């Protein structure tokens, strides 16, 4: 009997240790995403679909508009990407890939370079704003039924929502996965429905004890795949 009790206690202790370790890893990954999000929202270039024009948005947009004319927005983006390694949150391989992507002839913004996808042109952030969390218009075309609840979230609950969307792989890899429609504007899909069916993903690799971003992607899903992912998210919320 004592042996069985010991085994059960050991398993419980091991499980608790594993949960604690996973939580610490997710804390570190969340901090990395927040660093990227803070960098982006300081002042980023974004396309306005209804006017077909580019604008500088973000906390320092007024100051930046005085320095950069609309004709120089590409140069502003290039400067930001060249200096993005100062954040020290990217693998060198991914950073070198970003440097290659800024050699282009069209108008572009930071998120288009980071994702290598045209849908990056209307991304507003990399962490989801409370008003947008789970408010996917493909599933709730009339309104976001979670908006009121989201706005009442504590800071801890807000962070947990994001950590729940971090998937730990082996000890050296992880993925942050949300709907594109939670951080960007719908731009269509091959099914003729909503761009919200697309996924936004950040892939991480652990190097020398630090989680670093190794790739950022926008991926299209089928309606069935999107519904499955959405149902998983709602289950985390207790629905």
CA 203 to chain CA mean position, Å: 10
Classified as helix, coil or strand, 10 is: helix
pLDDT (tens digit per residue) in 79-116: 999 999 999 999 999 999 999 999 999 999 999 999 99
Q: What is the pLDDT of residue 12?
A: 40
- The two tokens of residue 120 are 């990056």
CA 74 to chain centre: 23
Residue 76 near residue 45 (C-beta atoms within 8 A)? yes
Two tokens at 124?
Answer: 């507003």
Look-up: residue for tokens 């091991």? Answer: 14
Residue ranges of domains in the chain: 2-236
In the block, residue with structure tokens 């024009």: 53
> Which residues lie below 8 Å from residue 45, measured CB to CB, with a gap of 6+?
54, 55, 56, 57, 73, 76, 77, 108, 109, 110
Q: What's residue 188's pLDDT?
A: 66
The mean pLDDT of the chain is 89
Please give the backbone phi and psi of residue 46, each rounded to the nearest 5 degrees, phi first: -140, 145
Checking if the pLDDT of 11 tops 50, the result is no
Summarize pLDDT for 171-200 with one digit per residue, the tens. 799 999 999 999 998 776 655 555 568 999
Is the predicted pLDDT of residue 63 greater than 50, yes or no?
yes
Tracing tokens 């899909």 back to the chain, one arrives at 189
pTM for the model stands at 0.89
């Amino acid at each position: 009997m004592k042996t069985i009790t010991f085994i059960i206690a050991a398993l419980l202790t091991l499980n608790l240790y594993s949960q604690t370790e996973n939580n610490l890893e997710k804390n570190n990954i969340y901090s990395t995403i927040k660093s990227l999000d803070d960098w982006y929202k300081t002042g980023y270039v974004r396309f306005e679909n209804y006017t077909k024009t580019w604008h500088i948005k973000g906390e320092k947009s007024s100051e930046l508009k005085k320095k950069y004319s609309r004709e120089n927005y590409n140069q502003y983006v290039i400067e930001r990407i060249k200096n993005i390694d100062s954040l020290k949150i990217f693998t060198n391989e991914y950073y070198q890939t970003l440097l290659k992507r800024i050699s282009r002839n069209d108008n572009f913004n930071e998120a288009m370079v980071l994702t290598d996808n045209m849908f990056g042109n209307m991304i507003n952030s990399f962490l989801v704003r409370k008003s947008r969390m789970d408010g996917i218009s493909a599933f709730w075309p009339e309104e976001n039924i979670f908006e009121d609840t989201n706005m009442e979230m504590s800071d801890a609950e807000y962070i947990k929502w994001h950590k729940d969307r971090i998937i730990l792989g082996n000890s050296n890899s992880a993925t942050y996965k949300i709907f594109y429609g939670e951080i960007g504007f719908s731009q269509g899909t091959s099914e003729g429905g909503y761009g919200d069916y697309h996924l936004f993903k950040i892939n991480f690799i652990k190097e020398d004890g630090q989680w670093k971003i190794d790739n950022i992607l926008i991926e299209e899903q089928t309606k069935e795949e999107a519904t499955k992912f959405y149902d998983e998210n709602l289950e985390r919320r207790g629905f």
